[in-house]
Structure 1
Amino acid sequence: MADTRSEEKPDFARGIPSGDLPEGAMVEGTLGADKVLLLRRDGAVRAIGARCTHLGAPLAKGIVAGGEVRCPWHHARFSLETGEAVGAPAFDPLPCYRAEERDGRITVTGRREAAARPPGRSPGKVVVIGGGAGGHACAEWLARAGHGAAVTLVSDDPDPPYDRTFCSKQYLSGKAKREATLLAPEGFYQGEGPRLLRDRAVSLDLGAEEVVTAGGERLPYDALVIATGAAPLRPDVPGFDRPAVHTLRSLADADALIAAAGTARKVAVVGASFIGLEVAAAMVARERSVTVVAPDAVPLAKVLGEAVGRFVQGVHEEKGVAFRLGREVTGFDGEALTLDDGSRIAADLVVLGTGVAPRTDLAEAAGLTLADEDEGGGIAVDGNLAASAPGIYAVGDVAAYPDPRSGRRLRVEHWVHAQRQGQHVARALLGATAPFAETPFFWSGHYGTSLRYVGHAASAEDARIEGDVGKGDFAVTYREDGRDAALATCKRDQRSLEVEAAWDREGAAAG
């Protein structure tokens, strides 16, 4: 239950009647300038910060499960007891407050210090290859536990770790500044924090347990975390090697796209993928003419089904995006794309949203076991995300792990899932033994419409629709092998959270 009916929030210094906070309720109010969330669980009253430390979502619209409050927007999780951000994409803790219930009234009297988390065992020397979602999340968790100085993060990206989702959303559209993409405050990768080595790992010496870099360093490790991610695919099409043809994976890629959009008038997006459509929305925000070309009959139908795919297509068409579906690109001459029916689409900027491939070259050269192509490729890991050689782990887009709910090996290309895998490995290095059992989750923004997806389904053919897809208020359940495998929602955030929490419990029990 959330108090969202009025802009007038109660002043918790003055207090509220106990009856206004029944069992299971959440009420947002204020304490001076602070936004505070009051909750009653198992009879006890708690008070914590009311806004998610990731992007400021109102936690009163989320849920509480397993002693944690879950954010309605991007599913970050916080401990009710300590305020700690225990599940990405948030890293900073919520403030905690003293709440008192006396004579039928609840008041908040000030901030309280949360109990510190035990540091766990020493992880030894940890080398992380890759500064993306999983790599940074692993390093951050170890630093949070007091072991930052034991970590070296090797990244061939010229920028310090940043939120890659901003590259196709807020930053690309002009709604956020470049510095807003950074995942850690300035100085995090200095002093007693992890060491950020801007270099490229070129080989793994498994016998010596060392990582060799292009700059000539040999980095010894007790634990190695491979978080090399994935690289965008560039189809072998004449003209796709021209400077006007871009892919989008890194912050530098987003910089180049923004610069190119400054002089471009007509933008063609090749591929109706999530990234492709988010780029289309960002280019519309920059007042560019956009055409999306894809071989699919309906955008995103393979993942979301035809009904939701047509809904998303309609959202874009209402903003002026043109679609050429069921068509392949056969060439680009610098002025126009040529399609397989002989037609031409004028374009002075082309963006490829044609998929990615896991970066497994280091692992393959070192002899680590890879997953089969029908499992999505990537580095094969066990339930604790450990690879086939001692002391080596893989997380994120490059990792193919056993999913406890389906019993299948999955390789999932989701930002938050990669972060949570990085956090899981960090906990394992500190002594935790539970297998990885988190439910995959991603979100996708299209103008003012946000989609949330939990779980994983290889096909959208067996779908059960609740609500009205055409009106953008729905929940679609995708089934596989007689079980609910995934859920896509729009304007039903609590439902998404509740299903995710239930599947987390199911996965943990199965693992």
Structure 2
Amino acid sequence: MAEGHVKPNGPDLVEGIALTDLPDGGKILGHCRDEQVLLVRRGAEVFAIGATCTHYGGPLADGLVVEDTVRCPWHHACFDLRTGEALRPPAFSPLACWSVEQRDDRIFVGEKRKRTAPKQRNGSSGQVPQRIVIVGGGAAGFAAAEKLRREHYQGSIVMFSNDEAPPVDRPNLSKDYLAGKAPEDWIPLRGESFYSRNDIDLRLNANVASIDARSGEVVLADGARTPYDRLLLATGAEPVRLTIPGANLPHVHTLRSFADCKAIIERATTARRAVVLGASFIGLEVAAALRSRDIEVHVVAPEKRPMERVLGPQMGDFIRALHEENGVVFHLEDTASSIDGNKVKLSSGDTLAADFVVAGIGVRPRTGLAETAGLILDRGVVVNAFLETSAPGIFAAGDIARWPDPHSGENIRVEHWVVAERQGRTAALNMLGHREKYVGVPFFWSQHYDVPINYVGHAAQWDEIEVDGDIIAKDCLLRFKREGRALAVASIFRDIESLGAEVQMERRMT
């Protein structure tokens, strides 16, 4: 996350630097008064922008310049060098920009430029809808609403969420916030005033019962109806629930919502021992967060290695060793058979003591609304390249959407936060008639203690894993290949190479 105020470093850009100090394509980190500024040169032009990503404060000086943009090394947000606009999630807020003057072979940074709203794009086809309804208050739903207003859409936006909290930064719920390293005010994606200020009718604790596609209405559980001209389904996924005896005890938790996270934190304040069921990304991030709170953690999972299905055996062995070094005890190739008070009985016959249990045994897409509306399903809601479902005017994005991925050549559905945000953005444009294909390269990140893992692309299957570097030394890049072609790349502390892999995958499509 972003750090507090620190003394600016680098050259004083108000005093200027020599033009020869900034080669074409180069970057220099400096400061303008007490603010960090990044200078970037593209040919004869020099741009001065804020030096830290507006998502989590990643250092853009360590990022990658691609044409007239700069990409964050941490989580692959992308910004326009000319305007500072956040072009791609996970960042939404723009960077500050400064005026730049060149004289006598020197570069001088002047005043901070006044921020201007992004220009309205041209080229929409068809009539602009007057009423847009979004079902879902997660990543995709929020990104769609935000993008609609950023595109100067003047019509009605109604956003139904069955959560009690406004859209939150869900990745943080299993990472820094759960670990006690992030304050609560970092969790909302935007403050509550954002919705009223942008005339977004956010309705919390709202349960949508059905969609009447023929009349173009959303029907709520209380029978109320809300009409729409365009509808976005962004209902996300829900945790798979335990079905074993004791699964409904009050100290057995799942982690999906802000309320879930706060309930786990409350338990953790007095607990000494926890059992985590599942060695998935969510399960092991929870384990790491609880270890940072000095809680004894046992992880129970049916796999031989954690995360092997996604990251392969070498990375799986590394992740297990990393967690064991930090005190986690694994019970692999085993499952919980029952929970009786503070005891978790395993299928192997072992019994574990637990003050509380967190079940991270997977999620399933919430496709019930789509199914009752008669939309075509295939292990998710089937959409075309424009994220439109089989019903005209109804779009789907995020965890429920199965889309034609041009990179793998397959129809895929992934449960990545950044993918959901980027799909929400694209769906917003297409609800306005812009006909923009979703061609984003899937990306996610995971955090385990001080080790970040970045993953670009999508490889459901591979026949070769090419390892560059040293996994144990936490300096590596793994290419997951099928028939000689890299479908995905996982990396630890290889940020520039991870960004480069993303760009390479994008350029395959052009």
* Shared fold (TM-score, shorter chain, > 0.5): yes
CA offsets, 1:253-302, max 9 Å, x none?
00111111122211001110000000001111111000111111111111
Distance, in Å, in 2 between the alignment partners of 1:239 and 1:66 is 56
Counterpart among 168, 178, 184 of residue 172 in structure 1: 178
Q: Paired residue for 1:22?
A: 23
Q: CA deviation at 1:19?
A: 1.1
Q: Which runs of 5+ in 2 are unaligned?
A: 1-6
Distance, in Å, in 1 between the alignment partners of 2:120 and 2:201 is 19
CA offsets, 1:218-246, max 9 Å, x none?
11111100000001002322222221211
Q: Paired residue for 2:91?
A: 90
Query: Secondary structure, in 3 states, of the residue corresponding to 1:503?
Result: helix
Q: Paired residue for 2:156?
A: 150
CA offsets, 1:477-497, max 9 Å, x none?
001243110000001000011
Q: Paired residue for 2:484?
A: 482
> Are the equivalent residues in 2 in contact too, given 1:204–1:212 (CA < 8 A)?
yes
Runs of 4+ in 1 over 6 A off after TM superposition: none
Q: Which amino acid aligns with 1:298?
A: R
> Are the equivalent residues in 2 in contact too, given 1:301–1:460 (CA < 8 A)?
no
Distance, in Å, in 2 between the alignment partners of 1:233 and 1:411 is 17
2:289 paired with 1:282: yes
2:249 paired with 1:242: yes
Distance, in Å, in 2 between the alignment partners of 1:460 and 1:347 is 38
Distance, in Å, in 2 between the alignment partners of 1:208 and 1:7 is 58
Distance, in Å, in 1 between the alignment partners of 2:215 and 2:362 is 36
Q: Paired residue for 1:417?
A: 419
CA offsets, 1:431-457, max 9 Å, x none?
422310000000000111100000001
Distance, in Å, in 2 between the alignment partners of 1:476 and 1:254 is 32
> Are the equivalent residues in 1 in contact too, given 2:98–2:110 (CA < 8 A)?
yes
Distance, in Å, in 1 between the alignment partners of 2:334 and 2:408 is 34
1:225/1:305 Cα in 2 relative to 1: closer, same or farther (>3 Å)? same
1:15-94 aligned at under 5 Å gives the runs: 15-94=16-95
Further displaced range: 65-74 or 82-91: 65-74
Query: Secondary structure, in 3 states, of the residue corresponding to 1:310?
Result: helix
Distance, in Å, in 1 between the alignment partners of 2:432 and 2:36 is 34
> Are the equivalent residues in 2 in contact too, given 1:438–1:504 (CA < 8 A)?
yes
2:304 paired with 1:330: no
Q: Which amino acid aligns with 1:360?
A: T
Q: Paired residue for 1:3?
A: none
Counterpart among 289, 292, 298 of residue 299 in structure 2: 292
Distance, in Å, in 2 between the alignment partners of 1:324 and 1:442 is 27
Distance, in Å, in 2 between the alignment partners of 1:136 and 1:349 is 32
Q: Paired residue for 1:11?
A: 12
> Are the equivalent residues in 1 in contact too, given 2:29–2:38 (CA < 8 A)?
yes
Distance, in Å, in 1 between the alignment partners of 2:286 and 2:414 is 21
Further displaced range: 455-464 or 346-355: 455-464
Q: Paired residue for 1:401?
A: 403
Further displaced range: 151-160 or 256-265: 256-265
CA offsets, 1:126-148, max 9 Å, x none?
10000100000000011122226
Q: CA deviation at 1:114?
A: 5.5
Q: Paired residue for 2:447?
A: 445
> Are the equivalent residues in 1 in contact too, given 2:118–2:150 (CA < 8 A)?
no
Distance, in Å, in 2 between the alignment partners of 1:8 and 1:142 is 38
1:116/1:191 Cα in 2 relative to 1: closer, same or farther (>3 Å)? closer
Count of matched residue positions in the alignment of Structure 1 and Structure 2: 498
Distance, in Å, in 2 between the alignment partners of 1:452 and 1:192 is 33
Q: Which amino acid aligns with 2:311?
A: L
Distance, in Å, in 1 between the alignment partners of 2:387 and 2:494 is 32
2:213 paired with 1:206: yes
- What TM-score do you get using the length of structure 2 for normalisation? 0.95
Q: Which runs of 5+ in 1 are unaligned?
A: 1-5, 372-376
Distance, in Å, in 2 between the alignment partners of 1:217 and 1:341 is 51
Q: CA deviation at 1:461?
A: 5.0
1:259/1:116 Cα in 2 relative to 1: closer, same or farther (>3 Å)? closer
Further displaced range: 207-216 or 44-53: 207-216
Q: Paired residue for 1:311?
A: 318
1:63/1:192 Cα in 2 relative to 1: closer, same or farther (>3 Å)? closer
CA offsets, 1:317-363, max 9 Å, x none?
11111111111221111222222221111112111110000000000
Q: Paired residue for 1:221?
A: 228
Distance, in Å, in 2 between the alignment partners of 1:210 and 1:467 is 55
CA offsets, 1:70-90, max 9 Å, x none?
001111111111110010011
Q: CA deviation at 1:115?
A: 5.6
> Are the equivalent residues in 1 in contact too, given 2:393–2:431 (CA < 8 A)?
no
Q: Paired residue for 2:188?
A: 182
Q: Paired residue for 1:388?
A: 390
Q: Paired residue for 2:3?
A: none
> Are the equivalent residues in 1 in contact too, given 2:246–2:338 (CA < 8 A)?
yes
Further displaced range: 473-482 or 201-210: 473-482
* Residue identity (%): 46
1:318/1:352 Cα in 2 relative to 1: closer, same or farther (>3 Å)? same
1:445/1:407 Cα in 2 relative to 1: closer, same or farther (>3 Å)? same
Distance, in Å, in 2 between the alignment partners of 1:444 and 1:148 is 37
Q: Which amino acid aligns with 1:432?
A: H
Q: CA deviation at 1:34?
A: 1.6
Q: Which amino acid aligns with 2:174?
A: S
Query: Secondary structure, in 3 states, of the residue corresponding to 2:337?
Result: strand
Query: Secondary structure, in 3 states, of the residue corresponding to 1:231?
Result: strand
1:486/1:18 Cα in 2 relative to 1: closer, same or farther (>3 Å)? same
